[in-house]
Structure 1
Amino acid sequence: MPVLPRSPSVRTLAVLHPVFALTGVLHTVGGALLPSLAARFHLNDSTSGLLFLLYFAGTSLGALLCRGNYARLITIGFAAMVCTCLAVSVCPRSLLAPVFLLLGISVGVPMSAVTLFVGHTYPARCAPLLTFLNFSWSIGALAAPLIAARVLMHHSYQASYVLFASASAVAAFASALVLSDPPEPARAPSDTRSNTAFYLIAIFAFAAFLQVGIENTVAAWLPTYALRTAAAGLVLAAASTSFYWAGFLCSRGLSSLLLLRAEPMRVFRIAVGVAFASALLLEFAPSLAARNIAMFLLGASLAPTYPLVLAAFFARSRHTADSRWILFTAGFGGSVLPWIAGFVSTHTGSLRTGMLTIPAALLVMAFLLLALRNHQPPVPTTQ
């Protein structure tokens, strides 16, 4: 018989939002703490870059480990973060590389498990829930440099990681106390992977690869692009990139409300279309004011696309655990597309040409939408 949509309790949301925001803090705070860490160990840029490479590789590996009881994985992940944050605060230079890899894994597990928990527990409502959770994650990411700056006023990076270890311990305790997975429904003997299942995984993995790659390309190159194209001074040009983040954060909050009434795939199609138009406007805008508008619209349209990609997969897949491959692939997109933009810019002598990576990737994503038209979400049933 049809399954009634399960609604999240206030206690569940009261835990999920702050713990997911904490993963946003840990995921982005490394850059703000890098000067203190580099000064302590006299690191050059190459060594610092290796630490970030290991960390981001670890987060992708953490996504692959997310299979089974997601509530338990959230608790285990935060417990591991206690250990790895403390390890960063006390480890010698010779152990920085493996410790940063382990830190990435420990952050990647709960960061992915929260998404999988929502998709598995609330499949009928995961689009608005994931979008609003990503709003909280974004708040954590934006707060990370402010937290780091506050701590570094009187202490070093070591005190920051001790603080994050304490916060992770609280998150682990709260997760263990409140979160629990629903019982697994009985699975029919014939319920095995099919070509259609692999096709869906490939389509959505590629979509996540493109989406995260687009976001990271914008974040990595937009400040430099604004500085090179503005004619109103370096300070004003650099400050203008805040229009992108303002649109991004506002949209993460408002789109979660919109998705309570609107059909998710329709919102996704509109978001991709507006993002494509905004990226072109950013390329060919005749004035600084037009570029600022393009930045705001680009941020607003990109903000809901990643949670919508995941929600669309959860609605179509019979196996929530398959989405860990999508989360794993997304991390590689975040590394590859910014590199492609820089490669094109270097070999053409124009960052404007390199930034065409963004509308090109969005155009490919639009074609992926056509491939999904013949794969509608199945009607959930119980045994």
Structure 2
Amino acid sequence: MPASDRPQAPDSARALTLAACMAFVPVGIVTVLLGPMLPTLSARWSLNYSQAGALFTAQYVASTLAVAVSGALASRWGFRLPIKSGLVLTAAGVALLLAGPRLLGIISIAAYGAGLGLTVPAANLLVAEVNPERRSATLNLLNFCWSAGAVACPFLVAAAAKSHRVPLLLGAVAVFSLLVAIGIAVMPSWIKEPAAPKNQSGETKPAMNWRHGAVPALAALFFIYVGTENAIGGWVASYSKALGSMTAATAVITPAFFYSSLMLGRWLAPLLLRKIADVRLVQIGLVVACAGMAGLVLSHDLLGVGVSACLAGLGLSGVYPITISMLSHEFGSEASRVGSVMFTLSNLGGASLPWVVGVASNRFGTLKAGLAVPLIGGAAMILLFLREWKPASPERPA
């Protein structure tokens, strides 16, 4: 039996899964922080759509570089080192975001982006490795925790902005991240991670088979999905404000519609996966997501934005965790090596598509044109999920 398919000691598996879930709450807050903060930062730094879109690029280019480092650290020292290191770097970046001029702000965005790049792939792969019999379900739980942070973020920013305490909020998020990092660092020694795959003869590992049929499809999915999710979540507040039919305070919280439906979908997914095959669930979800994204482009008021964002989030909710599960299922013990490349591509998608939204919006003079970009991404993912995927083992109840 491959190493990644051996059940982990139950106590260690539960403790490691809990640690990853705790880490993903501040990670969720910080990942989407730029979206609700974007109207404020754009006004503070006098940014047009293209320049505002470049802030996402700064976050995700730094994250992309960190993903490669995360894979190397995880292979050599285990998954917990990149998780706790990433949380410390994230805390530093968030704490300094509004501490100085625009240049320092951009450096801070890049810093917390790098922290996320260290933490996210390591946590996802850790949970997949220690729960081989329930990968899709536990990964949906992990990403549910991410969604909880993401949903809270717009409300926290709106409340802090109303009371002029945004720096205090950023400081609190930084402290939260540090506390989780410390908690992971002091975990007792009996908690064991799955061993990184090693060649028993001491020889160099054979090269990965990059001609594996799933590689191009998974690469495209990781790139497009993260870019699509970030494009919607990152721009919906600015889009709502630009419509002119709602107050600035209301516009800031509109990303919560999207992220709350992501969270709801990830809560429901483990139940649905007992009845529906994972690929079929994603196919249905992507059709719903595309309907929501089309509705968003056609919206003119809060009701239209809210309903459309909820449909988009609900439809997209299962795509990412199930794609990670498919990566682990297709490649087994080599998933961490392949995952390093896939998570790098996901961050490139996160850097590219929100920036393309800004460029298209600048070009055509409206964010409606820019929001057609994630709609195209959703349609592309539907086509990718029509391929024949390796069937996954049935999910077992907890």
Superposition TM-score, scaled by structure 1 size: 0.77
1:289 and 1:44 map into 2 onto residues whose CA distance is 29
1:279 and 1:48 map into 2 onto residues whose CA distance is 21
Residue number among 206, 211, 214 corresponding to 2:225 in the alignment: 211
> Residue 209 of structure 1 contacts residue 331 of structure 1 at CA under 8 Å; is this kept in 2?
yes
1:159 and 1:314 map into 2 onto residues whose CA distance is 40
Structure 1 or 2, whichever has the larger Rg, is: 1
1:181 equivalent in structure 2:
193
Residue number among 139, 143, 149 corresponding to 1:134 in the alignment: 143
1:358 and 1:48 map into 2 onto residues whose CA distance is 17
2:209 equivalent in structure 1:
194
Seen in structure 2, the aligned counterparts of structure 1 residues 310 and 296 have a Cα distance that, compared at 3 Å, is: same
Seen in structure 2, the aligned counterparts of structure 1 residues 56 and 222 have a Cα distance that, compared at 3 Å, is: same
2:33 and 2:306 map into 1 onto residues whose CA distance is 26
**What one-letter code is carried by the residue in structure 2 that aligns with 1:108?**
G
Seen in structure 2, the aligned counterparts of structure 1 residues 167 and 180 have a Cα distance that, compared at 3 Å, is: farther
Seen in structure 2, the aligned counterparts of structure 1 residues 180 and 23 have a Cα distance that, compared at 3 Å, is: farther
1:100 and 1:286 map into 2 onto residues whose CA distance is 31
* Cα drift, residue 191 of structure 1: 4.4
1:274 and 1:117 map into 2 onto residues whose CA distance is 30
> Residue 244 of structure 1 contacts residue 299 of structure 1 at CA under 8 Å; is this kept in 2?
yes
1:12 equivalent in structure 2:
16
Query: 1:1-383 residue pairs with structure 2 within 5 A?
Result: 1=1, 3-6=5-8, 9-30=13-34, 43-45=45-47, 52-67=56-71, 68=75, 69-85=78-94, 95-148=104-157, 157-178=166-187, 180-187=192-199, 191-197=206-212, 199-220=213-234, 222=236, 234=246, 244-260=258-274, 262-279=276-293, 294-317=308-331, 318-341=334-357, 355-371=371-387, 373=388, 375=390
* Cα drift, residue 51 of structure 1: 5.1
1:226 and 1:38 map into 2 onto residues whose CA distance is 15
Seen in structure 2, the aligned counterparts of structure 1 residues 83 and 375 have a Cα distance that, compared at 3 Å, is: same
2:103 and 2:355 map into 1 onto residues whose CA distance is 28
Seen in structure 2, the aligned counterparts of structure 1 residues 247 and 167 have a Cα distance that, compared at 3 Å, is: closer
Query: Percent of counterpart pairs with the same letter?
Result: 23
Counting matched residue pairs gives: 372
The secondary structure found in structure 1 opposite 2:269 is helix
* Cα drift, residue 116 of structure 1: 2.0
* Cα drift, residue 370 of structure 1: 3.4
> Residue 208 of structure 1 contacts residue 330 of structure 1 at CA under 8 Å; is this kept in 2?
yes
The secondary structure found in structure 2 opposite 1:196 is coil
Seen in structure 2, the aligned counterparts of structure 1 residues 315 and 52 have a Cα distance that, compared at 3 Å, is: same
* Cα drift, residue 315 of structure 1: 0.8
Aligned residues: CA RMSD? 4.2
Q: Deviations over 1:6-37 (max 9, x none)?
A: 45644333322221111112223345567888
1:118 and 1:324 map into 2 onto residues whose CA distance is 15
* Cα drift, residue 267 of structure 1: 1.6
> Residue 37 of structure 1 contacts residue 157 of structure 1 at CA under 8 Å; is this kept in 2?
no
**What one-letter code is carried by the residue in structure 2 that aligns with 1:183?**
A
Seen in structure 2, the aligned counterparts of structure 1 residues 171 and 261 have a Cα distance that, compared at 3 Å, is: farther
Seen in structure 2, the aligned counterparts of structure 1 residues 48 and 285 have a Cα distance that, compared at 3 Å, is: closer
The secondary structure found in structure 1 opposite 2:195 is coil
* Cα drift, residue 282 of structure 1: 6.0
Unaligned runs of 5+ in 2: 394-398
